[in-house]
Amino acid sequence: MKAIVQEAYGSADVLKYAEVGRPEPGDDEVLLRVHAAGLDMGVWHLMAGIPYLVRPAIGLRAPRSGRLGHDVAGVVEAVGAKVTAFKPGDQVFGTCAGAFAEYACARQNRILPLPANLTYDQAAAVPTSGVTAVQALRGMGKVKRGENVLVIGAGGGVGSFAVQLARTLGAQVTGVCGPSKAEFVRSLGASHVIDYTREDFTEGPRRYDVILDLAGLRPLSRLRRSLTRSGRVVLAGGEGGGRWLAGLERQLGAALLGIVLRRRRPRVLFATRGMEDLRFLSGLLESGEIVPAIGGTYGLSDVPEAMRVLAAGHNLGKTVITVA
């Protein structure tokens, strides 16, 4: 079968489109015929081996697995001996290891039935980015009906879900993005859109009940000044920094600051693959309250180019790799 493989850390140039052996499912796994896979910055970090802090877990000098891709949508081809939830022919989506391939194995507790109204491409856009938005706003942010929510980085993969989710939860949403993404963010349901290149969103009179920062555009101290008295700021992203921490220093510093603050404590999200959150999101997808926003699709052999576009920050919404 064809797959994307890497033998060393680095830029997208280390990725190879190659012929590899087809995997065999374990007892509690299913073998998927992959139709589509999602791409996000987490996958880019695994490719680059940055931050260095995570390398003991993924391989010190070279990637331990050599296979990329987590978000997946496809058809069950075969099942392991202990699999009871799925059978061959089932259409599913969720997470796995090595989704950038024609076939991949997924644990049966990491996938769900494909919502009937979604394409494979749409479903593959959901798991990582959608669940991150749910954990940030519904979990840590505890967004309530009638509140004002600010989403910084509203035009990206997580941001596109966050704007829609906040609106679905009954909030008034303000999206922060660059000028090329303004109309896109407005189409997602944002009541207000701020172009961060023209306006400092922390200096206006508006105050927010929840600020979700996905981009790290402004210091935490200024974000806290933009909160209401009982407001919450959730940090769930932001690139930058050195190769050792690559943006994590901001989250770690905020977590330490939260220990000593009495009000407006920053909340730091390190998203997990929560299946209950994915089930909740699946219901919103089936009802049409949230629609995956796909900004670009690439073939399996074009994953290196997709990585370059993603790293440059030019993507609108979620990037999807179409496999079959």
Three-class HEC string of 258-271: HHHCCCCCCEECCC
Same domain for 100 and 170, yes or no, is: no
Q: For residues 276 and 297, what is the distance between their CA atoms, to the nearest angstrom?
A: 28
Q: Read off the pTM.
A: 0.92
Same domain for 217 and 306, yes or no, is: no
Asked, for residue 275, whether it belongs to a domain, the answer is: no
pLDDT of residue 54: 82
Same domain for 188 and 251, yes or no, is: yes
Asked, for residue 245, whether it belongs to a domain, the answer is: yes
pLDDT of residue 223: 92
Q: Higher confidence at residue 39 or residue 311? A: 39
pLDDT in tens, 217-235: 888 889 999 999 999 999 9
Cα separation values, 78 from 3, 15, 27, 47, Å: 19, 28, 11, 29
pLDDT in tens, 285-323: 999 999 999 999 999 999 999 999 998 887 899 999 999
Q: For residues 74 and 213, what is the distance between their CA atoms, to the nearest angstrom?
A: 32
pLDDT of residue 248: 59
Same domain for 95 and 141, yes or no, is: no
Asked, for residue 274, whether it belongs to a domain, the answer is: no
Q: Is 37 exposed, middle or buried (0-12, 13-18, 19+ CB in 10 A)?
A: buried
- 3-class secondary-structure state, position 74: strand
Instruction: Give 239's pLDDT tier (boundaries 50, 70, 90).
Output: low
What's 15's domain CATH number? 3.90.180.10
What's 202's domain CATH number? 3.40.50.720
Same domain for 92 and 19, yes or no, is: yes
Asked, for residue 277, whether it belongs to a domain, the answer is: no
Give the pair of three-digit tokens for residue 204.
Answer: 């206006």
Same domain for 107 and 236, yes or no, is: no
pLDDT in tens, 89-129: 999 999 999 999 999 999 999 999 999 999 999 999 999 99
Same domain for 17 and 98, yes or no, is: yes
Asked, for residue 273, whether it belongs to a domain, the answer is: no
List all residues 6 or more positions away from 104 whose beta carbon is below 8 Å from its beta carbon.
23, 31, 32, 34, 69, 72, 74, 96, 97, 98
Same domain for 189 and 306, yes or no, is: no
Same domain for 257 and 180, yes or no, is: yes
pLDDT of residue 50: 81
pLDDT in tens, 153-178: 999 999 999 999 999 999 999 999 99
Same domain for 212 and 235, yes or no, is: yes
Q: Which domain holds residue 40?
A: 2-126+292-322
Please tell me the total count of domains within the chain.
2
Same domain for 148 and 227, yes or no, is: yes
